[in-house]
């Protein structure tokens, strides 16, 4: 089966012209937003696009939504070509845009959805049924007849999802969807995406964010984009392996001077004394840990616990970006 989304060598450069360009004959400012981006999304997965502000995430979203055309490269969405079959692509894509300017403030949530439903050629009973289904799916039944201007940020975001789902698209594009939400609203939005949209409805979701913790919670795979390039992609285990073979371990031993640990090559960090034990973290290769434990026991220092800690995603991100 072909991937739900497949992009090859996508590039995009924006040319900015101003009055200085015309009057003073200065060259226009060229900004390379995307440089040779290649990425694919499988059906039914939540794929993360992780990168700092200005990395090119929104530009890639706009290309997939057929709002702008790439300068180079090729891409397909559900088998349809981004350039020559853009009208078919639009029927497969749902763009979750929570911008308040894109809704009508004085209309209720239900009225907004009915208006946008007509743009998708939904009418009559079919339109009303679809709107009611989406209000129920997003938990907005009780707020359906309240003006949009009175919605909370979380409710506005849920209405944005309902609007994106009107044509029942296979692909959902979400550009930093939780950036204006409080923790409770963000948790509800994430739960809706994972359990309802991806798991039950089988939607493919492209989740663009610069929130590392959120990406690890939501996504099954991700790509790291920096300065318009994909610098790494894969699952979290693969990304962690890219920064080296050393792992982080947490150990608890008998209380002892730190100098004794250093004698056998242990360089403890984040040391803390707890109930007569010395607890610390160290970075080491996996094969070194049995040797350290044996050396500690031979020195008369009992080892009470030793466990491997997963490398935090923010450390992976910092190392990958720092190499570029």
Q: 199: which residues sit within 8 A by CB, 6+ positions away?
A: none
Q: What CATH number is given to the structural domain containing 128? A: 3.40.50.300
End-of-domain residue from the set 176, 209, 234: 234
Same structural domain, 256 and 289? yes
Q: Which of 184, 209, 234 lies at the terminal end of a domain, its last residue?
A: 234
* pLDDT per residue of the chain (324 residues) written in tens, 0 to 9: 789 999 999 999 998 877 777 777 778 888 899 999 999 999 999 999 988 888 899 999 999 999 999 999 999 999 999 999 999 999 899 998 766 678 999 999 999 999 999 998 899 999 999 999 999 999 899 999 999 999 988 899 899 999 999 999 999 999 888 887 888 888 888 998 999 999 999 999 999 988 888 888 899 998 999 889 998 888 887 777 776 656 778 899 998 888 888 889 888 887 888 888 899 888 888 888 999 999 999 999 999 999 887 766 776 777 777 666
Query: Last residue of a domain, which of 234, 267, 297?
Result: 234
Long-range contacts of 50-53 (CB under 8 A, 24+ apart): 50/209, 50/210, 50/212, 50/215, 50/222, 50/223, 50/224, 50/225, 50/317, 51/210, 51/224, 51/225, 51/226, 52/210, 52/226, 52/321, 53/210
Query: Is there a domain that residue 323 lies in?
Result: no
Q: Are residues 88 and 157 in the same domain?
A: yes
Q: In whole angstroms, give the CA distance from residue 62 to residue 70.
A: 10
Name beta bridge partners: 265.
none
CB 201, CB 46: distance < 8 Å: no
Indicate if 258 and 205 belong to the same structural domain.
Answer: no
Same-domain check for residues 145 and 214: yes
State whether the Cα torsion 183-187-188-193 is positive or negative. positive
Please report the pLDDT score of residue 159 as a whole number: 93
Residues 166 and 302 in one domain: no
Q: Name which of 167, 177, 159, 181 is nearest 109 in CA terms.
A: 159
59 contacts 33 by C-beta, under 8 angstroms? yes
- Residue 245 and residue 242: Cα distance in Å, rounded? 8
Instruction: Tell me the C-alpha distance between 197 and 138, whole Å.
Output: 10
Looking at the structure, do residues 139 and 266 belong to the same domain, yes or no?
A: no
| Total tally of structural domains belonging to the chain | 2
Same domain, 107 and 198: yes
Mark whether 150 and 184 lie in a shared domain: yes
Query: How would you write the chain as a 3-class SS string?
Result: CCCCEEEEEEEEEEEECCHHHHHCCCCCEEEEEEEEEEEEECCCCEEEEECCCCCCHHHHHHHHCCCCCCCEEEEEECCEECCCCHHHHHHHEEEECCCHHHCCCCCEHHHHHHHHHHHCCCCHHHHHHHHHHHHHHCCCCCCCCCEHHHCCHHHHHHHHHHHHCCCCCCEEEEECCCCCCCHHHHHHHHHHHHHHHHHHCCCEEEEEECCHHHHHHHCCEEEEEECCEEEEEECHHHHHHCCCCCEEEEEEEECCCHHHHHHCCCCCEEEEEECCEEEEEEEECCCHHHHHHHHHHHCCCCEEEEEEECCCHHHHHHHHHHCC
- Dihedral of alpha carbons 84, 167, 103, 182, sign: negative
Closest listed residue to residue 10, CA positions, set 91, 78, 68: 68
Q: Is residue 173 part of a domain?
A: yes
CATH (domain of 303): 3.30.70.120
Domain of 301, in residue numbers:
247-311
In angstroms, what CA-CA distances link 98 with 136, 156, 242?
19, 7, 35
Q: Among 160, 167, 158, 93, which residue's Cα sits nearest to residue 126?
A: 167
């Amino acid at each position: 089966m072909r991937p739900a989304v497949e992009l090859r060598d996508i590039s995009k450069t924006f040319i900015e012209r101003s009055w200085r360009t015309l009057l003073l004959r200065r060259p226009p400012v060229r900004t390379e937003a995307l440089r040779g981006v290649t990425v694919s999304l499988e059906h039914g997965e939540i794929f993360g696009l992780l990168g700092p502000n200005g990395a090119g995430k929104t530009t890639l979203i706009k290309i997939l939504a057929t709002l702008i055309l790439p300068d180079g490269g090729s891409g397909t969405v559900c088998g349809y070509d981004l350039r020559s079959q853009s009208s078919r692509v639009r029927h497969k894509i749902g763009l979750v845009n929570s911008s308040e300017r894109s809704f009508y403030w004085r209309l209720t949530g239900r009225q907004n959805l009915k208006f946008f439903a007509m743009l998708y050629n939904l009418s009559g009973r079919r339109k009303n049924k679809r709107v009611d289904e989406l209000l129920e799916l997003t938990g907005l039944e009780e707020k359906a007849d309240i003006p949009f201007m009175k919605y909370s940020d979380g409710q506005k975001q849920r209405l944005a999802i309902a609007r994106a789902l009107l044509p029942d698209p296979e692909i959902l594009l979400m550009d930093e969807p939780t950036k204006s939400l409080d923790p409770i609203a963000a948790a509800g939005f994430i739960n809706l995406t994972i359990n309802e949209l991806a798991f039950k409805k089988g939607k493919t979701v492209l989740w663009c964010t610069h929130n590392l913790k959120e990406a690890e919670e939501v996504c099954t795979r991700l790509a790291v984009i920096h300065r318009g390039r994909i610098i790494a992609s894969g699952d979290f285990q693969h990304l962690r392996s890219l920064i080296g073979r050393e792992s982080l371990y947490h150990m608890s031993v008998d209380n002892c001077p730190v100098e004794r640990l250093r004698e056998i090559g242990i360089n403890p960090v984040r040391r803390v004394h707890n109930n007569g034990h010395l607890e610390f973290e160290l970075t080491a290769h996996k094969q070194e840990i049995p040797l350290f434990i044996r050396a500690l026991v031979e020195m008369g220092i009992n080892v009470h616990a030793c466990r491997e800690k997963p490398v935090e995603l923010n450390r992976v991100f910092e190392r990958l970006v720092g190499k570029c």
